[in-house]
C-alpha cells in the first residue's frame, strides 16, 4: 500500500501499536480505516461498504446505527455522567441493570459485580474465587482449570486462562495454578473413527484424571465458553457439557460460564447456557450487553459464591476490589436499552430463525475442495479451510490460508476474521435473510478466487 504523507493511514502507522496485529507487516500494509456504520454494514474512508460479518468483535448485536442506544447514552450523560459503586454508593442505572441480569439469568443467581471488559471480569472472578476459598477455610483450593483453545481475555490472569499459544508465548504465561484440559474440538482433536459421544466421554475422563492427579481439594473452579469463539468457533458435542458437569459436581468444583460471546442471543437462546443446559455458579457477560457501544461487563453469581465472599469482606472490613468505571451509569443505561430492544424486537427468536437459515446455507459450502468443515449454531459459525481434506490440514504456516481468504473476502466487501485457518462468521443479530445470502454468495465466490492462491501454498 502506498500511503500519502500525513494521511490517516500514514499517521496510524506512525503513532499506533495495534492489538492482534503483526506490527512489522502493519508498517507496510497500513490500516483499514473505518469511518461510519449503518445496520450490519460499515464504510471505509473511501466510502466502500462492507458487510460486518463479525459484528465488530462478536459484539455489535444491534448493528452500527441504533439511535436508541445513542439517545440512552445522551440522556444518561446529561442526568448523571458518572458515579461509582464503591463504599455503598449507588445509582439507578446500575441497580436496574443488576436486578434485570439476576432476573433474566438462566439459573438462580443472586448478585452482580460490574466490570469494564471481558478480561477484567474473568480476572475479577479469579480473585473472587481465591477470596471465597480463603473464606471457606480452604486456602489450598486455588487451582482453576480452563481449556486449550479457550479464550477468556488478555490480562495476566485471564490470558493465563486463555488456552491459545499466542497469548502465552513471550509473555511468560500461563501463571501457575491455572491448568488446561483438552478442548471439545471433534473435527481437530478426535481420534480417527471416534464418535462425538465417545470423544465427549474421553474429554470428561481426562478432566477427571487431571483433577485426581492435582488433588480434588486443590481445584476451585472450571472456566468455559458454552461455544468457544476465538479458538475457532467450536461447538461441543451434544453430551459434552452434561459429562463435564457431572465430573465438576462430583468434586464440588465451581463452574464459571464465560458468556462474553454467547450471551444475549448469539446461539439462538438468550444464553449459551440454555442452549447446552449448563448450570453455572458464575456467568460472565460483556460485548453484546451494550452492543459494544460502551465498554461494559458483568459477573452474575449465585449465593454459593456470594455468601462466603460477604463473610470474608465482613471479617476483613471491606471487599478490597473494584474498578473506577465499573457499572458506569452511561454503560448501564446503554445496556438496559440494548436489552429492552433485544426483547421488544424478539431478536433472540430472530437469531434462532435466521441462524438456522445461515447454518443451512453455509453448509452448502462444505463440499468445496478447500473447505474441511462448516460448523456453528445460531448466528455464530466457522468455515474451516484446508489444503488437504483427508488429512484435515491447511498450509505449513498455520493461518496462511485463512489470512489469504479473509483478505479476498474483504476485497468482496465482507469482513470476517480468520482464527488461523477457520474463517469466523458472527453477524449482528439484526441481520436479514438477504444479507445472509449476500454473505454466503460472497464466501462461495471467495472460495473460487482462493483456488489460485491455495495452489501456491504447501500443505502441512
For ligand PMP, give the closer residue by CB, 146 or 245: 146
How crowded is residue 50: how many other Cβ atoms within 10 Å of its Cβ?
Answer: 19
* Distance of closest approach, residue 206 Cβ to ligand PMP, in angstroms: 22
Based on CB atoms, which residue is closest to ligand PMP, 260 or 309?
Answer: 260
Cα 165 → chain centroid:
17
Instruction: Indicate if the alpha-carbon torsion angle 132, 135, 137, 142 is positive or negative.
Output: positive
3-state SS string for 50-78: EEECCHHHHCCCCCCCCHHHHHHHHHHHH
Interaction pattern, residues 42-81, with ligand PMP; x per rule: CB under 6 A: ---------------x------------------------
Closest CA to 93 of 293, 335, 285, 338: 335
All three cell numbers of 113, joined, read 459485580
- CA distances 101 to 80, 286, 370, 430, 436, Å, are 22, 12, 43, 22, 31
The answer to whether 135 and 311 are in contact (CB under 8 A) is: yes
Asked if 229 interacts with ligand PMP (CB under 6 A), we say yes
Q: Which three cell numbers stand for residue 434?
A: 438477504
Which span sits near ligand PMP by CB under 6 A: 92-100, 115-123, 164-172, 330-338? 115-123
**At its nearest, how many Å lie between ligand PMP and the CB of residue 284?**
7
Measured CA angle at 136 (ends 130, 139), to 5 deg: 50
Contacts of residue 445, Cβ cutoff 8 Å, sequence gap at least 6: 412
Residue ranges in 256-275 that form contacts with ligand PMP under rule CB under 6 A: 258, 260-261
Q: Which stretch binds ligand PMP (CB under 6 A): 114-122, 191-199, 201-209, 233-241?
A: 114-122
Q: Nearest approach, Cβ of 380 to ligand PMP (angstroms)?
A: 11
CB atoms within 10 A of CB 291: 28
Per DSSP bridges, beta strands 111-115 and 297-301 are antiparallel
Strand-pair partners of 41: 38, 51
The region of 40-48, 77-85, 211-219, 253-261 touching ligand PMP under the rule CB under 6 A is 253-261
Residue 25 and residue 340: Cα distance in Å, rounded? 42
Q: Which part of the chain contacts ligand PMP (CB under 6 A), choosing from 40-48, 254-262, 275-283, 355-363?
A: 254-262
Min. distance of Cβ 420 from ligand PMP in angstroms? 15
Q: Which residue has the cell 466502500?
A: 48
By CB under 6 A, which span of 64-72, 75-83, 111-119, 201-209 interacts with ligand PMP? 111-119
What are the Cα distances from residue 372, in Å, to 49, 184, 358, 387? 29, 17, 18, 8
> Please, what is the minimum distance in Å from the beta carbon of residue 156 to ligand PMP?
13
- Told to check if 40 binds ligand PMP by CB under 6 A, we report no
Give the contacts of 169 (CB within 8 A, at least 6 positions apart).
Answer: none
Q: Tell me how far, at minimum, the Cβ of 387 lies from ligand PMP, in Å.
A: 28
Residues 139-158 that bind ligand PMP (CB under 6 A): 151-153
Is residue 225 involved in binding ligand PMP (CB under 6 A)?
yes
- Options 62-70, 112-120, 363-371, 422-430: segment touching ligand PMP (CB under 6 A): 112-120
Binds ligand PMP by CB under 6 A, chosen from 94, 119, 146, 167? 119
C-alpha grid cell, residue 8: 490517516
Q: Which of 109, 125, 204, 230 binds ligand PMP (CB under 6 A)?
A: 230
- Under the binding rule (CB under 6 A), the answer on residue 236 touching ligand PMP is no
Q: How many residues bind ligand PMP (CB under 6 A)?
A: 15
C-beta separation of 246 from 286 below 8 A: no
* Binding map of ligand PMP across residues 178-197, x = CB under 6 A, - = no contact: --------------------
Take residue 285 and report the three cell numbers written for it. 457477560
Residue 161 grid coordinates: 486462562
Taking the complex as a whole, the smallest distance from the CB of residue 261 to ligand PMP amounts, in Å, to 5
Segment near ligand PMP (CB under 6 A), from 28-36, 117-125, 191-199, 372-380? 117-125
Residue (of 55, 236, 165, 56) closest to 399 by Cα position: 165
Our finding on whether 117 is near ligand PMP (CB under 6 A) is: yes
Q: Please report, as ranges, the residues that interact with ligand PMP according to CB under 6 A.
A: 57, 117-119, 122, 151-153, 225, 229-230, 258, 260-261, 286
Amino acid at each position: 500500500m502506498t500511503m500519502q504523507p500525513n494521511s490517516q493511514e500514514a499517521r496510524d502507522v506512525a503513532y499506533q501499536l495495534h492489538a492482534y496485529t503483526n506490527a512489522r507487516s502493519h508498517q507496510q500494509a497500513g490500516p483499514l480505516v473505518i469511518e461510519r456504520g449503518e445496520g450490519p454494514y460499515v464504510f471505509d474512508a473511501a466510502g466502500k461498504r462492507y458487510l460486518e460479518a463479525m459484528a465488530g468483535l462478536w459484539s455489535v448485536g444491534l448493528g452500527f446505527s441504533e439511535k436508541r442506544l445513542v439517545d440512552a447514552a445522551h440522556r444518561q450523560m446529561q442526568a448523571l455522567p458518572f458515579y461509582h459503586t464503591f463504599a455503598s454508593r449507588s445509582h439507578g442505572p446500575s441497580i436496574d441493570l443488576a436486578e434485570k441480569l439476576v432476573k433474566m439469568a438462566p439459573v438462580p443467581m443472586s448478585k452482580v459485580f460490574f466490570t469494564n471488559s471481558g478480561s477484567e471480569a474473568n480476572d475479577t472472578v479469579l480473585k473472587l474465587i481465591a477470596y471465597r476459598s480463603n473464606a471457606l477455610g480452604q486456602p489450598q483450593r486455588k487451582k482453576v482449570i480452563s481449556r486449550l483453545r479457550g479464550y477468556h481475555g488478555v490480562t495476566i490472569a485471564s490470558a493465563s486462562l486463555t488456552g491459545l499459544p499466542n497469548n502465552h508465548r513471550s509473555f511468560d504465561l500461563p501463571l501457575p495454578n491455572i491448568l488446561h484440559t483438552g478442548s471439545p474440538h471433534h473435527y481437530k482433536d478426535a481420534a480417527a473413527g471416534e464418535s462425538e459421544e465417545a470423544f465427549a466421554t474421553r474429554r470428561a475422563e481426562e478432566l477427571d484424571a487431571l483433577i485426581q492427579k492435582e488433588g480434588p481439594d486443590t481445584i476451585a473452579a472450571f472456566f468455559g465458553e458454552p461455544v468457544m469463539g476465538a479458538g475457532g468457533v467450536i461447538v461441543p458435542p451434544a453430551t459434552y457439557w452434561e459429562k463435564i458437569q457431572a465430573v465438576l459436581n462430583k468434586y464440588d468444583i465451581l463452574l464459571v460460564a464465560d458468556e462474553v460471546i454467547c450471551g444475549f442471543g448469539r446461539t439462538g437462546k438468550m444464553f449459551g447456557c440454555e442452549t447446552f443446559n449448563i448450570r453455572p455458579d458464575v456467568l460472565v457477560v460483556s460485548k453484546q450487553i451494550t452492543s459494544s457501544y460502551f465498554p461494559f461487563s458483568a459477573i452474575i453469581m449465585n449465593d454459593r459464591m456470594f455468601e462466603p465472599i460477604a463473610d470474608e469482606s465482613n471479617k476483613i472490613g471491606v471487599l478490597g476490589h473494584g474498578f473506577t468505571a465499573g457499572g458506569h451509569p452511561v454503560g448501564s443505561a446503554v445496556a438496559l436499552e440494548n436489552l429492552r430492544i433485544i426483547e421488544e424486537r424478539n431478536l433472540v427468536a430472530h437469531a434462532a430463525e435466521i441462524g438456522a437459515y445461515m447454518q443451512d446455507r453455509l453448509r452448502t459450502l462444505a463440499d468445496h475442495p478447500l473447505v474441511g468443515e462448516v460448523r456453528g449454531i445460531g448466528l455464530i459459525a466457522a468455515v474451516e479451510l484446508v489444503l488437504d481434506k483427508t488429512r484435515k490440514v491447511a498450509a505449513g504456516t498455520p493461518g496462511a490460508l485463512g489470512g489469504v481468504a479473509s483478505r479476498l473476502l474483504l476485497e468482496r466487501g465482507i469482513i470476517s476474521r480468520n482464527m488461523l485457518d477457520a474463517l469466523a462468521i458472527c453477524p449482528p443479530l439484526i441481520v436479514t435473510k438477504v444479507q445472509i445470502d449476500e454473505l454466503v454468495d460472497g464466501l462461495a465466490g471467495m472460495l473460487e478466487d482462493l483456488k489460485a492462491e491455495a495452489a501456491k501454498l504447501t500443505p502441512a
